[in-house]
Amino acid sequence: MNRTHITRAGLLLALLLAVQSLRLLIPLPPFITMFGIGSAVNACLLVASLFVGIRTALLMAVVAPTVAYLQQMLPVPVLIVPVAAANAVYVLAFAALYGKRPYLAVVVAALVKMAGMYVAIDWVLQFVALPERIAALLRMMLSWPQLVTGLLGGALCLVIVERLRKTGLTKTGG
């Protein structure tokens, strides 16, 4: 790993953490922050997969739900695992398809993330005793909104990549 790679990785991780911390600073309803912050986090994951590699993006895919738990956005720590897994699938699906069809990569990655997240959360909630109201809210928040944030995050990633390409900053640095 060279300095450019480490610097980019650090900046993307810092951006991911800063974006997630906005929910602590902006007093907006959870659904509004979920769409805005979720989309920005997804964009960070996808940009990381392109500019600093899959391993770093996968690490960030684990950091994001860990921070969400620490910020009390996930009610129990066991939920970190399915969210991290869904993030990882999102990154891997996007990276696998991006070179040939970037727009298709966004759509497939978002669909796979939503499906994976819903199935994993539903499975975990069979073993975790949560009040039914909280479980229902989690099932809802971790279903179709994940498709929306996945698509918006992917679209934002494509815009960022295009802007960086125009400035000549798309080289990986080694």
Instruction: List pLDDT tens digits, range 86-117.
Output: 999 999 999 999 999 999 999 999 999 999 99
pLDDT value, residue 53: 94
User: Does residue 168 have a pLDDT over 80?
Assistant: no
Q: How many CB atoms lie within 10 A of CB 113?
A: 29
Q: Amino acid identity of 31?
A: F
1 or 109, greater pLDDT:
109
Quote the CA–CA distance of 35 and 13 in Å, as a whole number: 19
Determine the topology of domain 3-167 in CATH: Arp2/3 complex 21 kDa subunit ARPC3 (1.10.1760)
Summarised one tens digit per residue, pLDDT across range 129-150 is 888 998 888 888 888 999 999 9
168 or 109, greater pLDDT:
109
Give the global pTM: 0.91
Q: Is 164 exposed, middle or buried (0-12, 13-18, 19+ CB in 10 A)?
A: middle
DSSP string, 106-131: HHHHHHHHHHHHHHHHHHHHTTS---
Q: Give mean pLDDT, residues 21-47.
A: 89
The percentage of the chain sitting over the pLDDT mark of 70, rounded to a whole number, equals: 96
